Amino acid sequence: MIFENIRVALSGLSSNKLRSALTMLGITIGVSAVIVLVSLGQAVDDFVRAQFAGLGTNLLVVFPGENERGEQVPLTLDDSRALEDLSRVPDALFVMPQTNFSRTVTVGGREAFVRIQAVTQDFPTVRSRDVLEGRFFDRAEFEGLARVAVIGLTVVEQFFPDTFPINQNIRIDGVTFRVIGVMEEAGGSGFGGDQNNLIFVPLTTAQARLSGERNVAGDRPVSQISVQARDGDSVELVAVQVRQALREERQISFRAEDDFSIFTQTDLLDSLSQITGLLTIFLAVIAGISLLVGGIGIMNIMLVTVTERTREIGLRKAVGAQKQDIVLQFLIEAMVLALIGGGIGIALAVSGALLVSGSPIGLTVNIQLSSVIFATAISLFIGVFFGAYPANRAAALNPIDALRYE
């Protein structure tokens, strides 16, 4: 009986090809949009995690905070030295203070406003960055306030398009620095802008020659302090040690709140995952509206079909068809419409995922089996839900009135 109803449904669809295609279009678009957008959201989440994984899973960063009066309390080199004390933070491998600022850079006749990162000699290890050409500055150069710089590839393209940059001079805010290295290309743009459009200089040199900034106590402030734990499992322990060391260094009473913030990569990943998750849900809801429109289209076409086949319905009832037989017939027709439209939508979604994965944007979109099963279930539900009213309306027709219908 069911197979016969399926055969009748396919016969009806083939006899009205254009109408059937337009009816299925809404379901096709909706199913493909939902699958693609959900998969894109997962791909973005994977991409973000991969970017952080490139920095290592054992990094935490300390940022300035506010005191109880709402005043910004900067971090200082004294804070960094407190964290370097093994008696206070025994599970930290490296502690790296860092200052971020922008200055005018001049090379020959070229001039641009470039971001500077003033760091220590431990930067390549802490941030998992390699030097492509030349070298990074060492401890002797750091302690000796050497005027040396390591530049990113974007800076090379901007200032040295036709010249090998190593041992060339650049002027940062009027101070001459010698280029000793070029950093390897950083994947992605990062979360602080283009990570290839940076100039790295010794923090000591920057504080002495490029920035005379001091806090009220006369200490030189830093933008942040990066701390590398021994491994990924000890990050939370190191975060506790860092917090206790800074509270002791700053003489914060046990009742007072911290005037600094500690972020681990786990914290950042969790926050970003929540954002991408909410964005994915929002996009899926938007795409789901087209499924609703497609379902309404199926209901509309099934109501038209019931009207067109009124005499057929009356004849079937006259020869003994029960109400449930009529309901099943029209429900199956609606489900066939929805399933064919959903199947085409799945095929389009797979094609779209392959297209995005093959593009140069760097996202790998994978269609999960669960998404396909979910889309198929949605198609079935739409067929049943929006086909139920027309089916019940057909089953409720009086056979005598149906036979006399013109």
Of residues 94 and 16, more confidence is placed in 94
Of residues 382 and 403, more confidence is placed in 382
Mean pLDDT of 85-110: 91
- Residue 169 — pLDDT band, cuts 50, 70, 90? very high
- Residue 387 — pLDDT band, cuts 50, 70, 90? confident
Mean pLDDT of 302-310: 77
Segment of 155-164, 260-269, 340-349, 388-397 carrying the highest mean pLDDT: 155-164
Give yes or no for residue 273 having a pLDDT over 80: no
Mean pLDDT of 163-179: 94
* CA distance readout (Å), 176 to 105, 112, 117, 172, 182: 10, 15, 16, 6, 17
Give yes or no for residue 239 having a pLDDT over 50: yes
Token digits of residue 255: 């009742």
**Whether 260 contacts 65, CB under 8 Å:** yes
Give the pLDDT confidence score for residue 131 in this predicted structure.
Answer: 93
Give the pLDDT confidence score for residue 189 in this predicted structure.
Answer: 45
- Residue 334 — pLDDT band, cuts 50, 70, 90? confident
Token digits of residue 400: 């005598």
- Residue 2 — pLDDT band, cuts 50, 70, 90? low
Average pLDDT, the chain: 82
Give the pLDDT confidence score for residue 41 in this predicted structure.
Answer: 77
Of residues 346 and 286, more confidence is placed in 346
Of residues 64 and 38, more confidence is placed in 64
Helix/strand/coil for 115: strand
Give the pLDDT confidence score for residue 232 in this predicted structure.
Answer: 75
Phi then psi for residue 87, to 5 deg, are -70, -20
Cα–Cα dist 246/80, whole Å:
9
Give yes or no for residue 155 having a pLDDT over 60: yes
**Whether 322 contacts 387, CB under 8 Å:** no
The closest of 377, 374, 379 to 344, measured between CA atoms, is: 379
Mean pLDDT of 206-219: 75
Burial class (CB in 10 A: 0-12, 13-18, 19+), 226: buried
Of residues 58 and 167, more confidence is placed in 167
Positive or negative torsion for Cα 303, 305, 308, 311 = negative
Positive or negative torsion for Cα 245, 251, 252, 255 = positive
The closest of 182, 195, 130 to 151, measured between CA atoms, is: 182
Percent of the chain past pLDDT 90, that is, above it, reads 30
- Strands of 67-130 (E only): list them: 72-73, 75-76, 92-107, 110-119
Cα–Cα dist 221/212, whole Å:
10
Helix/strand/coil for 90: coil
Sequence ranges of the domains in the chain: 2-52+270-403, 68-258
Give yes or no for residue 63 having a pLDDT over 80: yes
Point out the least confidently predicted range of 187-191, 324-328, 352-356.
Answer: 187-191
Positive or negative torsion for Cα 344, 345, 346, 348 = positive
* CA distance readout (Å), 344 to 26, 27, 347: 11, 9, 5
Residue 258 is given by DSSP the state P
pTM of the predicted structure, to 2 decimals: 0.63
Point out the least confidently predicted range of 176-190, 233-247, 387-401.
Answer: 387-401
